[in-house]
Amino acid sequence: NKSIEESVKIFALGTKEFPDYKLKIMGGATADTEEYIKRLKELMKELKISDRVEIIKSPPFSELKKILQKSKIIIDSQKEINLTMTSIEAMAAGNIVLGYKNSGGYLDILDNGRFGYGFLTAEEGGKKLKGIIEKIDKGKININASIKRAQEFGKDRFVKTLKIILGENGLQ
């Protein structure tokens, strides 16, 4: 579901002219993780980006937070997933999100592209990534709207909205 191969391809295509960019792949380890990582490393070698990619298995939240704070862009290639914290956490840390268009993250969190960028194929994602990097380098991307959007998914906002809904339905 996570389609990390897609993220790797997008990174390779989108950063051809930007060799200083690095890709960090983070996530929880599962029983089949080692075999999957082996396949990912083969793909990275094929795409000639192995020296620019780091895989971090099951990072503690403190490390995840530090990495997101230093990052500029997150590629979320999870397909046909409802909502995950990936985009919200990245946006809260000031990252630009490039997400798969047929996912809840793109439709709901990124509001169909209002608060981030979307793609359907690796080729389209690579072009979008290149454009995002160019805009960042020229100072033409404002991350404040994304940070504010991420706050809409916080606990306080959730509780407030839930109370309104319950009150409107006479359940409070």
Q: List pLDDT tens digits, range 128-153.
A: 999 999 999 998 998 888 888 888 88
Q: What CA–CA distance (Å, rounded) separates 155 from 159? A: 6
pLDDT at 11: 98
pLDDT at 152: 83
pLDDT at 2: 66
Which pTM was predicted? Answer: 0.86
Using left for φ > 0, alpha for ψ between -120 and 50, and beta otherwise, residue 123 falls in alpha
> If 0-12 CB within 10 Å is exposed, 13-18 middle and 19+ buried, where does residue 115 land?
buried
